[in-house]
Amino acid sequence: MNSVKWLIRILLVFYLSHFSFPADTISLHHFIQDNNHQVIVSSGNTFALGFFSPGSSRNRYVGIWYHQIPDKTVVWVANRDNPIKDTSGILRIDGRGNLALFHKNQTLPVWSTNISTAGTRNSVAQILDTGNLVLVQNDTREAVLWQSFDHPTDTWLSFMKIGFNLRTGLNQVYSSWKSPDDPGVGNYSLKMTQGVSPQMVLYKGSNPLWRSGTWTGKRWSGIPQMTQNFLFRDSFVNTDDELSFSSDAKNASLITRWVTKETGVTQRMIWNNEAQSWIINAVPTEQCDFYGYCGPNSYCNPYLGDFECTCFPGFDPNHPKHGT
């Protein structure tokens, strides 16, 4: 009899410790530890947040990945330039109400949402089905104190933006990993440029490699693929408060991401569930897309057979014909 009681007691403790708190939330009392392989999962099971090691590395990072896609596909990394070398990491709400990543040997956090949170100690971090990690005040759940969508790494998801919040100074930039083994800030970045004709530019360091062309009202002039846009709702905002672009899947069940890669391309991918693989649509796709390929006084026409630079009247081409 006694052993049955004990068993029930143990099961109850197990049940309470594992299932009694919302599995999508980290709070002052419910943190996640790398040692215990703990993760939080968004309410619709779309995204998970936890500790991972990229590629063949043994370093530990906190990241967000698709919960239902077999190969762990990471869409955001917290401590991208500050790996933890062992599995003693703890992600919790600290005494100031920030979400912070600690290592057992250190009192200062390895990473933190690091906002001033005077009087907001009652905060919780929640992973949403969009892939956004939000820090909110538990009582109201309304005002977002911090969100991962404002601090992108290499992956642009639906409902994220590229560009500037001109009131707060926030600039949303997508920068490549260093390598598949190292999510640290790499050499390639996709940014919005300010000025008379804003556009998206892919840089290697400070050198532009590709540009989107200007906004025509419906699409970027340099991305003709955008004309048949059945899948995405594109929106370009250019006001006193904001200069941004977003491209959201019209159907929320479409799994899609736009990644700026360490190989020097920026590519949108769509998950094909039947094939269990990503369909890739990358730029620069063609020679024509490389910044300056044709020189400033000509234009590139990919439909002439080979990529061909056609000069504006009175100019000679830089590269008369590709491959000849």
Ligand X SMILES: *[C@@H]1O[C@H](CO)[C@@H](O)[C@H](O)[C@H]1NC(C)=O
For binding to ligand X (CB under 6 A), which residues are involved?
27-29, 85-86, 105, 109, 111-112, 114, 122, 124, 138, 178, 186-187, 251, 253
Residues with Cβ within 8 Å of residue 88, at least 6 apart in sequence: 34, 35, 103, 104, 105
Beta carbon of residue 239, minimum distance to ligand X (angstroms, whole number): 28
84, 110 contact by CB (below 8 A): yes
Beta carbon of residue 133, minimum distance to ligand X (angstroms, whole number): 16
Beta carbon of residue 265, minimum distance to ligand X (angstroms, whole number): 14
Cβ distance to ligand X smaller for residue 131 or 186: 186
Cβ distance to ligand X smaller for residue 245 or 278: 278
Beta carbon of residue 137, minimum distance to ligand X (angstroms, whole number): 9
Nearest to 284, CA basis, from 213, 181, 194, 232: 213
* Single-letter code of the amino acid located at 104: K
261, 186 contact by CB (below 8 A): no
97, 123 contact by CB (below 8 A): yes
Cβ distance to ligand X smaller for residue 17 or 194: 17
Beta carbon of residue 184, minimum distance to ligand X (angstroms, whole number): 8
Cβ distance to ligand X smaller for residue 126 or 172: 126
Cβ distance to ligand X smaller for residue 109 or 131: 109
Cβ distance to ligand X smaller for residue 177 or 245: 177
Beta carbon of residue 277, minimum distance to ligand X (angstroms, whole number): 16
Structural tokens at position 139: 């009582």
Q: What is the 3-state secondary structure (H, E, C) of 148-192?
A: HHHCCCCEECCCCCEEEECCCCEEECEEEEEECCEEEEEEEEEEE
Cβ distance to ligand X smaller for residue 101 or 300: 101
Cα–Cα–Cα angle for 317, 321, 322, nearest 5°?
Answer: 125
Sign of the four-CA dihedral 179, 181, 186, 188: positive
- Residue 18, SS3? helix
Beta carbon of residue 280, minimum distance to ligand X (angstroms, whole number): 19
- Residue 232, SS3? strand
